[in-house]
Amino acid sequence: MKLSFEGGEKIMKKIISFILTFLMLFSVSLAQTRKAPMPPKKSTVKKTTPAPAPEAKKVVYAAPKAKKSELSVSPKGCLYTGNGGSSFAIGCEVSKPVMDNVDLMGEIIYILPNGGVSNIVFSGNGIYKFEKMQGLPGDLYAGGGLNYNLVSGNGFSASGMGFQGLVGMDFAVGDGIAFGQLKYVSYTYSVPATTTSAYGITITIPGYSVSSSGLVLEGGYRFAM
């Protein structure tokens, strides 16, 4: 019995020694774990999406509109009829727009001598341009105004005023516009009295008035200035 007790006592001592050793090692390991520095936490940086750059405003440059010509010069040839004869003339028109479809036109015409009498005509007209009409080869216009006449020849000179009306058509040709027009002209001028002496005799020719009217055919070419 004594041997058995002593053997059991030895076994108990070994078990207790093993347990103490295990507890001591576990305590040392735990202490080292607590002293070990914690690894730094990874900082999480939020990725921010950059704001889109503001779109550049598109600058639209409008091409300047072509400016309509303010002035046109139109040389022309004329044929005067009426009063039992006809006369040729040369002239020139100058026109300028004053409002939509309306032009102010001035002209000067030199009527070549016929029967020794010539005439210089100054005129002012208002011209209305009609909207383009289908079926017509050109652009139709019409108008009228006043004329002032300087008549001279056969030893006298006179002046007088009258009126006129016209209708015509413009045709696009090349860089300009050709035109043809029909005009009705009427004017009156007064011939002053004249006095002549021959062989001591004085002769007085009384003054008189002359009225002239007729149709005029005109054609020419317009140049934009």
| Judgement on whether residues 10 and 115 belong to the same structural domain of the protein | no
Asked whether residue 45 is domain-assigned, the answer is no
| Judgement on whether residues 14 and 114 belong to the same structural domain of the protein | no
> How many domains does the chain fold into?
2
Asked whether residue 55 is domain-assigned, the answer is no
Identify residue 198 by its one-letter amino acid code.
A
pTM comes to 0.64
Asked whether residue 218 is domain-assigned, the answer is yes
Asked whether residue 172 is domain-assigned, the answer is yes
Q: How confident is residue 6, by pLDDT bands cut at 50, 70 and 90?
A: low
| Judgement on whether residues 26 and 96 belong to the same structural domain of the protein | no
Asked whether residue 61 is domain-assigned, the answer is no
Asked whether residue 65 is domain-assigned, the answer is no
- Span 160-164, average pLDDT: 96
**Residue 150 belongs to domain spanning:** 72-224
Flag whether pLDDT at 25 surpasses 70.
no
| Judgement on whether residues 198 and 114 belong to the same structural domain of the protein | yes
**Percent of the chain's residues with pLDDT above 90:** 44
Asked whether residue 81 is domain-assigned, the answer is yes
